[in-house]
């Protein structure tokens, strides 16, 4: 794939510098057959530095996962070398099986086969809490 000109696929842009690998992991891009380009520390007028991910051949990704990570990310859908759609990201109310609870007292630490569920509890401060124990999800 030519990194500069994507014919058909998705460009995930304005990723906070340093967090592209998290997104790679959460979107499970490693499981895809298509080519993926990861650009770290690209120059950005607004952000200083940013990361970009380009995925060739794919037109559909889990926007909830991206909204959960960072609403400022932009997603452009490219076809025939042109942007055909700019996707708007919102913080999802619930995310399922994307991240897991780190509270050792939480039932999810011992009970197998249940979904890891986080709910948006404070949109203003982008706070998600475990649906079972209410512990806050800490990014790092």
Partner 1 sequence: MKHIIDPLDLSVEELDSYLDLADRIYANPEKYAHVCDGKKLATLFYEPSTRTRLSFEAAMLNLGGSVLGFSSAENSSATKGESVADTIRVVSNFADICAIRHPKEGAPMVAAQYSQIPVVNAGDGGHQHPTQTLTDIMTIRALKGRLGNLTIGLCGDLKFGRTAHSLITTLARYAGIKFILISPPELEIPDYIRDNTLIQKKIPFQEVERLEDVIGNLDVLYMTRVQKERFFNEEDYVRLKDSYILDMEKMSLAKDDMIVLHPLPRVNEIAVEVDNDPRAAYFKQVQYGVYIRMALIMKLLEVNDIEC
Q: Return the residue of 42, 63, 91, 131 that touches partner 1, per CB under 8 A.
A: 131
In order of 38, 69, 106, 119, the CA distances from 63 in angstroms are 18, 10, 28, 16
Nearer to partner 1, 20 or 130 (CB): 130
Site for Zn ion in 76-105 (CB under 5 A): 101, 103
Site for partner 1 in 74-113 (CB under 8 A): 103, 105-113
Question: Closest separation between CB of residue 92 and partner 1, Å?
Answer: 18
Query: What SS3 class is residue 81?
Result: coil
- Report the distance separating Cα 137 and Cα 130, nearest Å: 7
Question: Closest separation between CB of residue 138 and partner 1, Å?
Answer: 11
Q: Return the residue of 35, 74, 116, 135 that touches partner 1, per CB under 8 A.
A: 135
Query: What SS3 class is residue 29?
Result: helix
In order of 7, 44, 97, 99, the CA distances from 78 in angstroms are 7, 20, 28, 29
Residues that bind Zn ion (CB under 5 A): 101, 103, 106, 130, 132-133, 135
């Amino acid at each position: 794939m030519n990194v500069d000109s994507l014919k058909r696929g998705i460009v995930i842009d304005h990723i906070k510098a340093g967090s592209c690998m998290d997104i790679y992991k959460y979107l499970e891009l490693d499981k895809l057959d298509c080519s993926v380009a990861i650009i770290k520390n690209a120059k950005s007028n607004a952000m200083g530095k940013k990361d970009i991910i380009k995925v060739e051949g794919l037109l559909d990704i889990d926007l909830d996962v991206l909204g959960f990570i960072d609403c400022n990310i932009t997603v452009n859908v490219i076809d025939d070398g042109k942007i055909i759609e700019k996707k708007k990201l919102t913080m999802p109310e619930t995310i399922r099986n994307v991240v897991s609870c780190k509270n050792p007292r939480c039932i999810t630490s011992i009970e197998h086969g249940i979904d890891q569920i986080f709910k948006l509890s404070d949109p203003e401060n982008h706070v998600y809490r475990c649906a079972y124990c209410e512990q806050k999800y800490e990014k790092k």
